[in-house]
């Protein structure tokens, strides 16, 4: 273990987001670790090249196999999540696909939460199905359902909490308990929370995945993923599926995420503060029919806020007293708030799950998941909360007057 790694083990997360990870040494003493923007690495002699390929000598070979900037990101995020290792990938979906391919073989079964991101749903229900992997989607709010559906060939249980798009909460520790002595691994997509607000490993998760595109990077300029786990699993993901599928991260993206991570703690607190203010505004607006936000006392499993999750996060879903065209008119009336998918950026983003993030669901699956045509998802950004609220208010008011006119 490096000296840098040892010193971070006792540091608080707010310090680790800045100092964690094995930084490559810059001969000039630059404060910020250099970006190794290179595809390949020179060997000093032929024996060194063959020794590195044979794994007999440490060192870099080619950036699809490893790169110092990417290593620094991997060690920093692994440390934040409390795991010994991590593998960075080109996208969050790349991380989920590579992890699945490392753990599962044709004929195997996986249990997946019925509330997950649309492309994760498509990956399990369509793509992996073509390769003979059976994904069973169940409601894991009742952990007994997991015990009932586990089989001998179940390789993992995959959950997202809070989950797209209704912010459904799942009790990670209770799910792990329900898995009993099963050899299946518990995989948690921690994208909505980040390790600053939720530590799945301490609750029993074997593997934690992120779309690093979101809060980890935080600036809307990267698409990336990362998976954290034990050394053996991560080595398998890196040296088989990720390396050979080629879904590896670019060094430049790793460098940008390292920069973004430094402000993760302050950003998450501001994101959450702003979200709470936006929820208070939505609650008192007559045009808002229903709000889904873990911080609300009536949200299912709200008691997990403050125990499993430090705070309620910055993603809110809500429905309007309207039909789909009214919801669309409201979206079109927004000015500062960007009509865009994604979350965790400085800018507040809003989207329409039924026709956007959850369009990979069939209409039947969408209906079963309760994704109505008027459901909207807002990812609250870092602007002044008053400006976010003012934009929501003017758009809601303008739609209201349009309805009155057309009534």
Catalytic machinery residues? 64, 117, 189, 214
**Candidates 112-120, 133-141, 143-151, 173-181 — which segment interacts with ligand PLP by CB under 6 A?**
112-120
Contact residue for ligand PLP among 71, 164, 248, 351 (CB under 6 A): 164
- For residue 189, the minimal CB distance to ligand PLP (Å) is 5
**Footprint of ligand PLP on 86-105 (CB under 6 A):** 91-93
What is the Cα–Cα distance from 227 to 77, expressed in whole angstroms? 9
Contact residue for ligand PLP among 74, 160, 236, 391 (CB under 6 A): 160
What is the Cα–Cα distance from 112 to 184, expressed in whole angstroms? 12
- For residue 95, the minimal CB distance to ligand PLP (Å) is 8
**Candidates 30-38, 115-123, 266-274, 288-296 — which segment interacts with ligand PLP by CB under 6 A?**
115-123
What is the Cα–Cα distance from 115 to 120, expressed in whole angstroms? 10
Residue 117 or 293 having the CB closest to ligand PLP? 117
Write the CA distances from 13 to 19, 225, 375, 394, 395, integer angstroms.
10, 20, 35, 39, 38
Q: Which SS3 state, helix, strand or coil, does residue 407 take?
A: coil
Residue 102 or 119 having the CB closest to ligand PLP? 119
- For residue 8, the minimal CB distance to ligand PLP (Å) is 26
- For residue 56, the minimal CB distance to ligand PLP (Å) is 35
What is the Cα–Cα distance from 99 to 155, expressed in whole angstroms? 11
Write the CA distances from 225 to 74, 82, 341, integer angstroms.
11, 17, 16
**Candidates 85-93, 276-284, 289-297, 369-377 — which segment interacts with ligand PLP by CB under 6 A?**
85-93
**Footprint of ligand PLP on 185-224 (CB under 6 A):** 189, 191, 211, 213, 223
Helix-strand-coil split of the chain, %, nearest 5: 40, 15, 45
Residue 160 or 206 having the CB closest to ligand PLP? 160
- For residue 397, the minimal CB distance to ligand PLP (Å) is 30
DSSP string for residues in 177-213: HHTTT--PEEEEE-TTTHHHHB-GGGGT-SEEEEETT
Residue 162 or 326 having the CB closest to ligand PLP? 162
Picking from 355, 384, 389, 386, the residue whose alpha carbon sits closest to that of residue 372 is: 355
Size of the chain, expressed as the number of residues it contains: 407
- For residue 360, the minimal CB distance to ligand PLP (Å) is 11
**Footprint of ligand PLP on 43-82 (CB under 6 A):** none
Picking from 238, 193, 206, 167, the residue whose alpha carbon sits closest to that of residue 13 is: 193
- For residue 164, the minimal CB distance to ligand PLP (Å) is 6
Residue 69 or 191 having the CB closest to ligand PLP? 191
Residue 68 or 353 having the CB closest to ligand PLP? 353
DSSP string for residues in 370-400: T--TTEEEEE--SS-HHHHHHHHHHHHHHHH
Which residue is nearest to ligand PLP, using beta carbons?
92
Give every strand in the sheet of 134-138, ordered side by side: 85-89, 225-229, 207-211, 185-189, 154-160, 109-113, 134-138
How many residues touch ligand PLP under the rule CB under 6 A: the total is: 14
**Footprint of ligand PLP on 299-358 (CB under 6 A):** none
- For residue 298, the minimal CB distance to ligand PLP (Å) is 23
Copy the structure tokens of residue 73. 């990101």
What is the Cα–Cα distance from 66 to 351, expressed in whole angstroms? 36
Residue 110 or 150 having the CB closest to ligand PLP? 110
Q: What phi, psi does 250 have (nearest 5°)?
A: -85, 145
Position 117 contacts ligand PLP (CB under 6 A):
yes
**Footprint of ligand PLP on 214-273 (CB under 6 A):** 223, 225
Residue 92 or 295 having the CB closest to ligand PLP? 92
Residues that bind ligand PLP (CB under 6 A): 91-93, 117, 119-120, 160, 164, 189, 191, 211, 213, 223, 225
């Amino acid at each position: 273990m490096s000296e840098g790694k040892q010193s971070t083990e006792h540091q608080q997360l707010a310090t680790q987001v800045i100092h964690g990870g094995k930084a490559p040494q810059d001969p000039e003493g630059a404060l910020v670790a250099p970006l190794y923007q290179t595809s390949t690495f020179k060997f000093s002699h032929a024996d060194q090249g063959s020794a590195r390929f044979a794994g007999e000598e440490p060192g870099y070979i080619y950036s699809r196999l490893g790169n110092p900037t990417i290593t620094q990101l991997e060690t920093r995020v692994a440390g934040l999540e409390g795991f010994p290792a991590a593998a960075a990938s080109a996208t969050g979906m790349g991380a989920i696909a590579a992890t699945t391919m490392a753990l599962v073989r044709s004929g195997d079964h996986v249990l997946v939460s019925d509330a997950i991101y649309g492309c994760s749903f498509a990956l399990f229900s369509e793509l992996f199905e073509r390769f003979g992997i059976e994904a069973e989607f169940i409601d894991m709010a009742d952990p007994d359902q997991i015990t009932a559906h586990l089989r001998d060939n179940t390789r993992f249980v995959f959950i997202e909490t809070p989950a797209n798009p209704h912010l459904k909460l799942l009790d990670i520790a209770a799910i792990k308990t329900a898995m009993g002595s099963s050899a299946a691994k518990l995989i948690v997509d921690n994208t909505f929370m980040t390790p600053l607000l939720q530590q799945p490993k301490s609750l029993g998760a074997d593997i934690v995945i992120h779309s690093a595109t979101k809060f980890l990077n935080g600036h809307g300029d990267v698409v990336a993923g990362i998976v954290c786990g034990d050394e053996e699993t991560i080595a398998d993901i890196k040296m088989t599926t990720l390396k050979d599928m080629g879904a590896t991260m670019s060094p430049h993206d790793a460098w940008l995420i390292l920069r973004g991570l430094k402000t993760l703690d302050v950003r998450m607190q501001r994101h959450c503060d702003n979200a709470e203010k936006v929820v208070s505004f939505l609650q008192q607006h007559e045009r808002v029919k229903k709000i889904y936000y873990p911080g609300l006392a009536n949200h299912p499993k709200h008691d997990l806020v403050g125990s499993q999750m430090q705070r309620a996060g910055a993603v809110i879903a809500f429905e309007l007293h309207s039909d789909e065209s009214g919801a669309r008119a409201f979206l079109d009336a927004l000015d500062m708030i960007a009509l865009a998918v994604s979350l965790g950026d400085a800018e507040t983003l809003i989207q329409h799950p039924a026709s956007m993030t959850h369009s990979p669901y069939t209409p039947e699956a969408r209906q079963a998941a309760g994704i109505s045509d008027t459901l909207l998802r807002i990812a609250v950004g870092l602007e002044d909360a008053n400006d976010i609220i003012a934009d929501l208010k003017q758009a809601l008011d303008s739609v209201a007057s349009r309805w009155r006119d057309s009534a």
